[in-house]
């Protein structure tokens, strides 16, 4: 090996040592989602009562979470790339989300309920964004951000069904909601509650007897999104 080759090898080794020092160690943040109807755990197929005294049976409950951002004690924020998840009550594995981060003490977690406009307009997707997941309308209206379906004697629709499919990303019908959850402890996993009662009575009173169906972007979808943006909270250990 000539001197130039030796010098090149030494330079490459030094550069490796220097740059490896900038690779921050990663750790996993685990979130576990728990679904409730008020104080009772949500069980698909069970009869429950919403805040207006309407009896209902939930058959499907699923929603997209995306674009996670973590904040540490110093105020530093870290965006988690390609963070798209479909949480489905019928799929227990989907209710656990793992995020990789270089931050140490996390004090807040931010995310969106829904899918950003870029993904809505990016053509056919794969994985959890695959249209075969039954969470996609059309190329014009995009993804269903959240879905709540079932039966209720209060519903005047066919077979007493209620179906809430919420979405919309265009101006005037944007149902994307940004959520921020503050953490007071550093326990793992982080347990997150989602209460479906918020769908009916949070910022807007929505009764199944009056509005049993939402299948497109628009005023009702926006009201439902306003409501369910308040369904999340951190559970104590």
- At 8 the pLDDT is 53
Residue 106 counted as domain residue: yes
- At 188 the pLDDT is 85
- At 10 the pLDDT is 53
Tokens of 224: 């439902």
The tally of domains found in the chain comes to 1
- Cβ pair 119, 145 in contact under 8 A: no
**Closest by alpha carbon to 112, among 83, 91, 136?**
83
Residue 228 counted as domain residue: yes
- At 20 the pLDDT is 45
Residue 192 counted as domain residue: yes
- At 6 the pLDDT is 44
Domain that holds residue 55: 27-234
Q: Which residue has the tokens 């959890």?
A: 128
Residue 129 counted as domain residue: yes
Residue 19 counted as domain residue: no
- At 26 the pLDDT is 80
- Quick one: residue 160, left, alpha or beta (phi over 0 = left, psi -120 to 50 = alpha)? left
**pTM of the model as a whole:** 0.87
Residue 18 counted as domain residue: no
Residue 90 counted as domain residue: yes
Instruction: Catalogue the long-range contacts made by 80-84 (C-beta closer than 8 Å, 24 or more residues apart).
Output: 83/111, 84/115, 84/119, 84/127, 84/128, 84/129
Q: Please, what is the average pLDDT of the chain?
A: 90
Helices within 59-196 (DSSP H only): 117-120
Residue 15 counted as domain residue: no
CA atoms within 13 A on the CB side of 116: 12
| pLDDT tens, the chain, 237 aa long | 555 554 554 545 545 444 444 455 688 999 999 999 999 999 999 999 999 999 999 999 999 999 999 999 999 999 999 899 999 999 999 999 999 999 989 999 999 999 998 888 777 789 999 999 999 998 778 899 999 999 999 999 999 999 999 999 999 999 999 999 999 888 889 999 999 999 999 999 999 999 999 999 999 999 999 999 999 999 987
């Amino acid at each position: 090996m000539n001197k130039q080759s030796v010098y090149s090898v030494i330079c490459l080794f030094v550069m490796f040592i220097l740059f490896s020092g900038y690779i921050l160690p990663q750790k996993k943040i685990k979130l576990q989602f728990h679904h409730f109807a008020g104080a009772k755990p949500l069980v698909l197929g069970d009869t429950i009562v919403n805040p207006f005294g309407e009896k209902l049976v939930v058959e499907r409950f699923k929603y997209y979470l995306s674009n996670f951002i973590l904040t540490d004690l110093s105020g530093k924020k870290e965006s988690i790339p390609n963070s798209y998840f479909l949480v489905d009550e019928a799929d227990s594995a989907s209710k656990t989300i793992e995020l990789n981060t270089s931050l140490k003490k996390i004090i807040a977690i931010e995310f969106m309920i829904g899918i950003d406009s870029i993904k809505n307009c990016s053509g056919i997707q794969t994985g959890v964004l695959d249209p075969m997941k039954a969470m996609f309308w059309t190329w014009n209206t995009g993804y269903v951000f959240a879905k709540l379906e079932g039966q209720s004697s209060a519903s005047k629709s066919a077979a007493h069904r209620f179906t809430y499919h919420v979405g919309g990303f265009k101006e005037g019908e944007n149902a994307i909601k940004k959520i921020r959850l503050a953490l007071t402890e550093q326990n793992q996993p982080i347990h997150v509650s989602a209460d479906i009662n918020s769908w009916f009575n949070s910022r807007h009173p929505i009764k199944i007897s009056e509005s049993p169906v939402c299948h497109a972007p628009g005023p009702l979808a926006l009201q439902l999104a306003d409501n369910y943006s308040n369904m999340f909270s951190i559970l104590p250990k």
